[in-house]
Amino acid sequence: MTTDIAVLPSSREREASAIDLNELLVTNPPATYYMRMRGNQLARRGILPEDLLVVDRSRPPVAGCIVVFRQEGEFTCRELIRGGDSYLLADDEGNQLPLSEDTEIFGTVSGVVRKL
Amino acid sequence: MILHVDANGFYASCERLFRPDLAGKPIVVLSNSDGRVIALNDEASRRGLRRGESWIRPASGLDARDVSVFYSNYALYADIGSRLVSIYNRLCPDVEVHSIQEAFLRYPDRGCPDFAGIAAHLRNTVLREIGIPVSVGVARTKTLARLANSTSKTGTGVNLFDGSPSDSLLAEAPASELWGISLTASFAEPVFSLTELESDLAASAGEAVKRLKDRSGRAAFVTVHLMTDGLAGPGYCNQLSERFDAPTASMADILKASSGLLRRIYRQGLPYRKVMISLLPLDDDRSGSKSPGAGDAFLRPIRRTARRFLAQIPLGAGSTRPALPGLDGRAWNQKRRLFSPAYTTDLAGIPEVF
């Protein structure tokens, strides 16, 4: 014979309030900044003008990442790709900028938010 | 051992962070109350600019070309400052916030080791994750750690104090005015429940307000930090600040604000180890409020200065590089241009990427 016992939910379950998108998008809050995409160079990579970028400075930039870097006094967003022995910053139009020692990478894009 | 961490020229570093066009250029930040320089970067120091100097009547012979001038953007500084403290808390069990740009980190000695290495790791982590340069002073007492930081500039950002201080050095050390208050509740057993965190935070807030009143201070900002054990699994730490409409020492205000902040950063189901509250005044308040009621008299010369420098300097604020406004435009608009946007706390102010 078995008895069903109604178990009271633990205190952690009772405090559920709502889905929090921060939990999905932000893994390291102190290292996370938001930026607004204005350029059209990454549309085929899924980033459209006016998208909100979640930029995580603690996430190491590796090949295949979308990174924000400083270029000619502006923030620019490109894909970091391997190019032989070095790294390149690539956009949809096939432009490839070599990653030099002076290139200052601001952070890695860890998420994109778009309101439709 | 005690590590004193100082974000030198902190406000200028914050202004620089989201302005890639200002790399390597002199930046000064002015007090909003009297137009004095309250922060500047190395490039501005090299031009002979000094903290405390009046921007309304700059010393003659001053080379102000290309200097970017900002009024204080406290929303930005409070947010970045609280991010710094989150990183300190992740890396050190015992953190005391001294001001928006200074903190003391206490490490147990245990015959250890390599404090220069710990200090360098701290500095590198803050620079990489937040983008703000800090220097670290290491010594056995708070005074000496602070002294190590302020007197010896090794260029590496890490300054160890070993040996005994000479009297002359101690005499030169700036008087330590503790004007930030921080209190941490740490838990030996992890805490999951919001209710429990709230009651511990309220106890800390109560004690913080008591200390604030003891020194007749008022808080302009309250920050709440929340963190899990950094060593066990993927850690979580977060922080959030609120600015009071007017600086306050009211228990009710501070309790309400801190509990609201905690609720916004709390994530369900995590093993929390620490919750911390910090109260900070405005930087301007440090010297006491100058000439109360003379606000307007101060504003007029500031506006005039703003106009004068706008004519010479590519001042920047806002999301677009400013085309210089017609100089006969309204003074108010020109003053607004010296304020940078709330890059990190307002969606309308976030930086643009191309």
**CATH assignment of the domain containing B339:** 3.30.70.270
Domain-embedded: residue B285: no
CATH of the domain at B258: 3.30.1490.100
B248 and B310 share a domain?
no
Domain C-terminal end among B261, B280, B299: B280
Domain-embedded: residue B342: yes
Domain-embedded: residue B204: yes
Which residues in chain B have Cβ-Cβ distances shorter than 8 Å to A37?
A: 352-353
B137 and B189 share a domain?
no
Q: How does DSSP assign B120-150, residue by residue? A: HHHHHHHHHHT----EEEEESSHHHHHHHHH
Beta strands A66-71 and A104-113 are antiparallel
Which residues in chain A have Cβ-Cβ distances shorter than 8 Å to B352?
A: 35-38, 75
What is the distance, to the nearest Å, from the Cα of residue B293 to the centroid of all Cα atoms in its chain? 27
Domain C-terminal end among B217, B250, B280: B280
Count Cβ atoms below 10 Å from residue A25 Cβ, excluding itself: 16
Q: At what angle do helices B115-129 and B74-91 cross, to 10 degrees?
A: 140
Domain C-terminal end among B258, B280, B302: B280
The verdict on a CB contact (< 8 Å) between B268 and A74 is no
- Shortest CA gap B75–chain A (Å): 15
Catalytic member of B15, B96, B102, B242? B102
pLDDT at A51: 98
B9 and B140 share a domain?
yes
Domains of chain A (ranges; CATH) run 20-113 (2.10.109.10)
The verdict on a CB contact (< 8 Å) between B20 and A57 is no
Rg (CA), chain B: 21
Q: Which of A113, A25, A107, A27 shows the shortest CA–CA distance to A67?
A: A107
B39 and B156 share a domain?
yes
B27 and B154 share a domain?
yes
Q: Are B223 and B217 in contact (CB under 8 A)?
A: no
B295 and B268 share a domain?
no
B52 and B151 share a domain?
yes
Q: What are the φ/ψ torsions at residue B85 (nearest 5 degrees)?
A: -65, -35
Domain-embedded: residue B176: no
B243 and B213 share a domain?
yes
B47 and B137 share a domain?
yes
Q: Which of A15, A39, A57 sits opposite B130 (nearest CB)?
A: A57
Selected residues 181-210 of chain B with any CB under 8 Å from a CB in chain A = 192-195
- 3-class secondary structure, A15: coil
B153 and B31 share a domain?
yes
Q: Which of B181, B87, B74 shows the shortest CA–CA distance to B130?
A: B87
Which residues in chain B have Cβ-Cβ distances shorter than 8 Å to A51?
A: none
Residue-range definition of the domain harbouring residue B112: 1-57+65-165+290-354
Is B102 a catalytic site residue? Answer: yes
Alpha-carbon dihedral B268, A27, B263, B204, rounded to 10 degrees? 100
The verdict on a CB contact (< 8 Å) between A15 and B268 is yes
CB contacts < 8 Å between A and B, how many? Answer: 92
Q: What is the DSSP letter of A101?
A: T
ipTM attached to this prediction: 0.86
Q: What are the φ/ψ torsions at residue B67 (nearest 5 degrees)?
A: -80, 130
Domain-embedded: residue B19: yes
The verdict on a CB contact (< 8 Å) between A11 and B195 is yes
Domain count across chain B: 2
Q: Are B103 and B97 in contact (CB under 8 A)?
A: yes
Domain-embedded: residue B28: yes
Digitized pLDDT (tens) for each residue of chain B, 354 residues in all:
899 999 989 999 999 999 999 999 999 999 888 888 999 999 998 888 888 888 776 666 666 778 899 999 989 999 999 999 999 999 988 898 888 899 999 998 777 778 889 999 999 999 999 999 999 999 888 888 888 887 766 667 888 876 655 545 554 545 444 467 888 899 989 999 999 999 999 999 999 999 888 888 889 889 999 998 765 556 888 999 998 989 999 999 999 999 999 999 999 888 999 999 999 876 544 433 333 333 333 333 333 333 333 333 333 333 333 333 333 333 444 445 688 999 999 999 999 999
Residue of B nearest to A16 (CA): B268
CA angle B11, B17, B18 (to 5 degrees): 120
CA separation for the pair B14, B100 (Å, rounded): 12
B44 and B127 share a domain?
yes
Digitized pLDDT (tens) for each residue of chain A, 116 residues in all:
555 666 555 555 555 578 889 989 999 999 999 999 999 999 999 999 999 999 999 999 999 999 999 988 999 999 999 988 889 999 999 999 998 888 899 999 999 999 99
- What single-letter amino acid sits at B126? V
Residue of A nearest to B17 (CA): A106
Domain-embedded: residue B274: yes
CA separation for the pair B105, B94 (Å, rounded): 6
Which residues in chain A have Cβ-Cβ distances shorter than 8 Å to B353?
A: 35-39, 53, 68, 75-77
> Is B86 an interface residue toward A (CB < 8 Å)?
yes
pTM, two decimal places: 0.79
- Shortest CA gap B341–chain A (Å): 13
What is the distance, to the nearest Å, from the Cα of residue A104 to the centroid of all Cα atoms in its chain? 17
Q: Are A53 and A68 in contact (CB under 8 A)?
A: yes
B15 and B117 share a domain?
yes
CA separation for the pair B113, B244 (Å, rounded): 43
Q: Are B235 and B228 in contact (CB under 8 A)?
A: yes
Q: Which of A26, A9, A8, A10 shows the shortest CA–CA distance to B193?
A: A10
Domain-embedded: residue B172: no
